[in-house]
């Protein structure tokens, strides 16, 4: 069933709760599941480590999540849905990654500076 969910995905957000160590341990399992069920190496991923507002209940340190993200070669964002911390930033990043990856592969547009020598025609 997972294969059908991942089959047409261009971007995936993997999430864990900073107050739940088991969800943190499962990040690698989720990533392996994605790799096992997709044919494409080009799916864009980010990790959202949620509930950063629960300071005293926190079970996963910033250093641990940073090291895990580096090990998995995935960007991460510590977020709080309650405080609306880093939610917009995380989703903007995954959207830009998907957009740039999809359009650059299909010969489409690129967001960023344009080389004037590559222009053809008058317009």
pTM of the model: 0.77
Q: Determine, yes or no, domain membership for 123.
A: no
Q: Determine, yes or no, domain membership for 12.
A: yes
pLDDT score, position 106? 57
pLDDT score, position 123? 38
Calpha distance 53→85 (Å, rounded): 9
Residue numbers of the domain that contains 14: 2-118
Q: How many domains does the chain have?
A: 1
Q: What is the DSSP string of 38-49?
A: -S-S--EEEEEE
Q: 95-113 pLDDT, tens per residue? A: 999 998 887 765 544 444 3
**For residue 62, what are its two tokens?**
């910033």
Which CATH number is 67's domain given? 3.40.50.300
Q: Determine, yes or no, domain membership for 102.
A: yes
Q: Closest Cα partner for 95 from 60, 44, 23?
A: 44
Q: Determine, yes or no, domain membership for 22.
A: yes
Task: Identify the segments of the chain with pLDDT beneath 50.
Answer: 108-123
Beta carbons of 60 and 49 less than 8 angstroms apart? yes
Q: Determine, yes or no, domain membership for 38.
A: yes
pLDDT score, position 122? 39
- Distance in Å from the first CA to the final CA of the chain: 48
What's the whole-number average pLDDT of the chain?
83
């Amino acid at each position: 069933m997972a294969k059908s969910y991942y089959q047409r995905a261009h971007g995936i957000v993997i999430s864990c709760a900073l107050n739940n160590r088991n969800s943190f341990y499962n990040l690698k399992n989720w990533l392996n599941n994605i790799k096992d069920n997709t044919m494409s190496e080009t799916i864009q991923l980010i990790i959202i480590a949620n509930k950063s507002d629960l300071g005293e209940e926190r079970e996963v340190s910033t250093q641990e999540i940073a090291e895990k993200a580096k090990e998995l070669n995935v960007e991460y964002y510590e977020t709080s849905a309650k405080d609306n911390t880093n939610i917009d930033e995380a989703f903007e990043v995954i959207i830009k990654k998907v957009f740039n990856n999809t359009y650059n592969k299909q010969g489409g547009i690129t967001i960023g500076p344009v080389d004037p020598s590559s222009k053809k025609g008058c317009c």
